[in-house]
Amino acid sequence: MYIKIHEAYRTIIAVADSNLIGKTFEQDIKQIEIKPTFFKGEEIETQELIKTLQDFEKEDATFNIVGKESIKCAIEAGIISKEGIMEIDGVPVGLGLF
């Protein structure tokens, strides 16, 4: 998995499964492009990602999370629930504030 931290008016945390980087998914009117410039930061292991997500949740960050493993970590970290996930072409996506 990759994590990239963007500093703006609010911190944006982008997380994606490694195998999704550079791909685009479409379904009906929904589309997501997993751009390397937005999602490909540093590679991160599961337990470190869970802790990092929990730390940034305390700082009122916003999250963009894509992929089965990344979403699984976000659920385990307690920052997203299953109801907060949509699927685009079979790929789970969590966007925005959780």
- Domains of the chain (ranges, CATH numbers): 2-96 (3.30.1860.10)
The yes-or-no verdict on residue 98 having pLDDT over 60 is: no
| Angstrom distance (rounded) from CA 89 to CA 78 | 25
For 17-97, strand residue ranges (E) read 24-27, 30-33, 42-43, 62-66, 86-88, 91-96
Q: What is the pLDDT of residues 20-57, one digit of tens each?
A: 999 999 999 999 999 999 999 999 999 999 999 999 98
0.95 exceeded by pTM: no
| Spatial contact of 52 and 58, defined as CB atoms under 8 Å apart | no
